[in-house]
Every structure is written in structure tokens, then in C-alpha cells.
Structure 1
Amino acid sequence: MAVGEKSAGGQRRQPSRSKATDSRSDSARSTKPRVQRDSPRSGRVSAPQAMRYAAEQLEELLGRSPESVSAVQPTEDGWKAQVEVMELERIPETTSVMASYRVTLDQDGELMAYEQTRRYARGQIDRGA
């Protein structure tokens, strides 16, 4: 039976969808939207853009989704951000192992370097000096 023809039961056969014939791109099928990068008007991406770019690019490298961006700061060459990532999930959640990464971005928001600066339990409270 050809696509669109009626079967003996009166039902039409629907065309099958394969990856090769699906006109949507892989990014359109993804559940997580990709950030579109606009060329910066002032030569530097904005702070909110820098936060998104830092989290997005670190996720690509680590394979784990960042929990938050806890700091972002402009530098002469771009941006510096602090990104929190769950390294090891445990039950209860307060015992999950977290890591803090320092991420360096250039003025266009491209990741130049990253470094793990701290590992800690999610429920751990920092005490002031």
C-alpha cells in the first residue's frame, strides 16, 4: 500500500519519519534551546549574555549541566564567571558533591579557560572570615 492510500479498514497510511527525511535540524529537536550569539554592539557581550555563555560552554566541556552562575565580573579582556556544577548526585540532596569553576571568557563570550576552584557538599554553608 502506498502512502496516502486507504487500507481495507478505511485508514490512511501515514508516511514514516526517519532521521534522514526529518527536515528539522538536530538543534530543533533538542529540548534545550541554544543561545543565539549576536555580534556585540559595543565590542563586549553583556553580563547576562556572559553568564549564559559561561554556563553553556562549560556544560559542553564537562557533560554536566551547571546549577547556577554565582558570579560574573568584567575584566580588561572579557569576563570572569564562577559557575556551580553538581559533580556527584547523592541522596539526600544536601550531601551531593558540588564543584565551583572559574570560567574566563573573551569579549565575544568565547571560553578561553576554566578551572575547578572548589569542591563541597551542597548543604555546606560558607563561614565568613
Structure 2
Amino acid sequence: MVEEEPPPLPAHDVAELALRDITQLTGKKPLGATSVMPTDEGWTVEVEVIEDRRVPSSTDMLALYEVVLDMDGELLSYRRTRRYARGAGDGMGGRS
């Protein structure tokens, strides 16, 4: 009898796994996933976190982390790709 492969994880579940992993690894509070992208090897998820709380909160420092998960949702790697002040534009020349 041929074993069937389990169905791939839905994007929502992958995002939740990435949020959990970033929280455990950095101790920082995630604000949410900003993107979930399937790859040939699994998933790449971008997670926005509060990097440094400030008063007032409108001056908090935020960071964007790239989380790479395999097809089963297991963490392969993560890295901080950007750090910026809350409310700062994306620097892409358009409106944020």
C-alpha cells in the first residue's frame, strides 16, 4: 500500500508557527505576519515585531524578520531584515 503524503499546511497555520517561533527565539512581541510565501522547500514568512518599546508608543522601534520553514512547518532559519521607527514609511517612494 502506497503511503499518501499529508496535505500541505495552510498559509494561516504557517503564519502562526512563524509567530510562535519568533516569540520563542527573540523574546519580542510579534505584531503579525506581513507576508506568507510558498517556496520549493517550504515557506518564507515575514513577521513584524516590537523591537524596542518607547513612550509614547508611536515612537516604538519595530523590526521585520524573515522566517524560513520547511513543508512541515519546522523552522529552518530566521533573520532580521529591517529595523525602523513605528509610522516610518516604507521608503519605496509611495504612500504607506
TM category, shorter: 0.7 to 0.9
SS class of match (2:62): strand
Distance 2:28 2:64 in 1: 13
TM-score (structure 2 length as normaliser):
0.86
Which of these residues, 112, 116, 119, is aligned with residue 76 of structure 2? 112
TM-score (structure 1 length as normaliser):
0.65
Q: Cα RMSD between the aligned structures? A: 1.3
> What CA deviation, in whole Å up to 9, does each residue of 1:63-118 have, x standing for no partner?
12211100000000110000001011011212100010000000001111001000
The reply to whether residue 78 of structure 1 matches residue 42 of structure 2 is yes
Which residues of structure 2 form unaligned runs of 5+? none
- For residues 66-105 of structure 1, the aligned pairs below 5 Å read 66-105=30-69
Q: Which amino acid aligns with 2:59?
A: T
Distance 1:92 1:75 in 2: 39
**Structure with more contact order per residue of length (Cα contacts < 8 Å, sep ≥ 6):** 2
Which of these residues, 87, 90, 94, is aligned with residue 126 of structure 1? 90
Q: Which amino acid aligns with 1:75?
A: T
- For residues 1-129 of structure 1, the aligned pairs below 5 Å read 41-42=6-7, 44-129=8-93
Structure 1: 4+ residue segments shifted above 4 A: none
Once the two structures are overlaid, the 10-residue window that deviates more, 105-114 or 59-68, is 59-68
